[in-house]
Amino acid sequence: MSLKENRDFELTHWDGKSGASCGPRYILDTVLHHEKNTNGLYKANRYMELIVGPTVIEIGCNAGGFTTLYSQHGYAVGLDLLHQPLAIARFWSKCINERNFDKKHWGEEWCHPPDFEVNCGWINAEASHLPFKDGAFNTVCMTDLIEHLPVHLRAVAIAEGIRIAKNRFIISTVTEVSDPNNPDWLDQILERVHPFGLLTEEELERWVRDCGVEIFVIETKWFGTEQFIKQILIGANK
């Protein structure tokens, strides 16, 4: 699959509304409502714990949910291949800063509106060719992105992310999915969401180590009840 085909696939996937679940509205509400044992809450808190320094970039930010939270550290940049989710991210962050929580913008009323300012920039670019100088950001996050990329661009994207990281590189990816009640669920996931296939833990760890950085966290976690999603989270120091 070419880069254009990948772009077209991701655009269709996002327009199908599945991408909207990663928007600021969903992530912020998950955290602000203090929901228990949710995928979004766990990941948001874990990534926030690992971020160092006043500047952070999220590569593959979708509609900017995590990037919005990261801006509490200082200044955050959200980067994505698609214009549509970035437009949503810009609009929602503007609403938050203006304290505009009107129901017509959000679909429902906020229970606990954010009490912080969103300090973000939004950039349209490709993960395999980042328009930044070496060490441009204290922390670089590439969370749940790498499995969406064509295989030949994965190692390149990881190397690019590590190149622009001054202090820390954080990456996570889905490594396994299963459902005892639906043996075909993996095939459905690969067809609808990850047409290039999932990585193994060994592949991801090797690619990060090959860039010459020190891995300090290797964490594997299962999410879900009947449908299981296994992810690996890796942190690396420069």
Half-sphere exposure of 2 (CA within 13 A, CB side): 3
Burial grade of 137 (CB within 10 A; 0-12, 13-18, 19 or more): buried
The Cα 148–Cα 171 span in angstroms is 13
The C-alpha angle 182, 40, 90, rounded to 5 degrees, equals: 120
Token pair of 46 as six digits: 């874990």
Specify the DSSP element, H or E, that contains 49. Answer: helix 39-50
Q: Are 76 and 158 in contact (CB under 8 A)?
A: no
Q: Do the Cβ atoms of 223 and 42 come closer than 8 Å?
A: yes
Which pLDDT does position 110 carry in this prediction?
Answer: 63
The token pair at 142 is 């590439």
pLDDT at 186: 78
The contacts of residue 54 (CB under 8 Å, 6+ apart) are 73, 74, 75, 138
User: Where is 70: in which H helix or E strand?
Assistant: helix 65-70
Q: How many whole angstroms separate alpha carbon 38 and alpha carbon 28?
A: 13
pLDDT recorded at residue 70: 92
Positions of the chain with pLDDT under 50: none
Per-residue model confidence (pLDDT) at position 12: 65
Question: Whole-prediction pTM value?
Answer: 0.87
pLDDT of 22: 54
194, 145 in Cβ contact below 8 A?
no
Give strand pairing partners of 232: 173, 220
pLDDT, position 6: 62
Domain covering 3-237 in this structure, CATH number: 3.40.50.150
Strand partners, 218: 234
- Which residues, listed in sequence order, are joined to residue 173 by a DSSP beta bridge? 232
